[in-house]
């Protein structure tokens, strides 16, 4: 294994309560823990069952490759302090203008993801000059829906998608830099 640093953002992006940084080798165990839960199986597009090799490939391969421009997703680690443990991951997919995210189970319920989402959307709107950022989640993922709503996303409804080759219902929302989209609908009940 090389001692060279992993490719990623050179400076942290500061939110109100979180820092968005590059992933590190010492994040691998936390990625395995987060992506091996039943919640991850239901709501993420990660391999299942999720293995340490999957996490190593994500941290050492996929995430740095995005920062080198080898694919269209830029991934940040979410932390509460610069040297703190991995709280979660958030990424921007440039081809679809879309955000995706997850939190480690022990970081959930603290408001960290809403802050990370507002921060990365601000980066997309300000630094990348995206006119809008899209978000999707699988039906039943109320936590993700609450985060998107708290971060100012406008709900657009549901559409059919696929997960691991199976048809699934997805919720869709958008954050538009210029205001509220004309086709916005009320958010469904989130309790």
Identify the pLDDT of residue 125. Answer: 82
Peptide bond into 49 cis (omega under 30): yes
The whole-model pTM stands at 0.92
pLDDT digits over 93-115, tens only? 999 899 999 999 999 999 999 99
Rounded Cα distance between 184 and 74, Å, is 27
pLDDT digits over 112-133, tens only? 999 999 999 988 887 778 899 9
Identify the pLDDT of residue 6. Answer: 64
Helix (H, G, I), strand (E, B) or coil at 103: strand
Identify the pLDDT of residue 129. Answer: 83
Nearest to 78 by CA among 9, 148, 153: 9
Residue 175: φ, ψ to 5°: -115, 115
Identify the pLDDT of residue 126. Answer: 78
Identify the pLDDT of residue 182. Answer: 86
Sign of the CA dihedral running 91, 40, 5, 72: negative
Which segments of the chain have a pLDDT < 50?
1-4
């Amino acid at each position: 294994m090389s001692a060279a640093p992993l490719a990623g953002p050179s400076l942290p992006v500061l939110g109100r309560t979180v820092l968005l940084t590059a992933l590190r080798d010492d994040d691998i165990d936390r990625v395995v823990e987060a992506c091996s839960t039943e919640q991850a199986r239901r709501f993420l597009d990660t391999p299942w069952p999720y293995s340490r090799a999957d996490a190593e490939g994500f941290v050492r391969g996929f995430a740095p490759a995005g920062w080198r421009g080898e694919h269209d997703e830029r991934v940040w680690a979410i932390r509460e302090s610069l040297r703190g443990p991995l709280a979660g991951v958030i990424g921007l997919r440039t081809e679809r203008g879309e955000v995706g995210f997850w939190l480690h189970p022990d970081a959930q319920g603290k408001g960290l993801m809403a802050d990370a989402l507002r921060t990365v959307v601000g980066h997309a709107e300000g630094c990348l000059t995206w006119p809008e950022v899209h978000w999707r989640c699988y039906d039943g993922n109320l936590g993700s829906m609450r985060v998107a709503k708290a971060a100012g996303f406008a709900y657009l409804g549901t559409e059919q998608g696929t997960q691991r080759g199976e048809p699934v219902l997805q919720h869709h929302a958008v954050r538009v830099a210029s205001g509220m989209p004309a086709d916005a609908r009320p958010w469904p009940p989130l309790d």
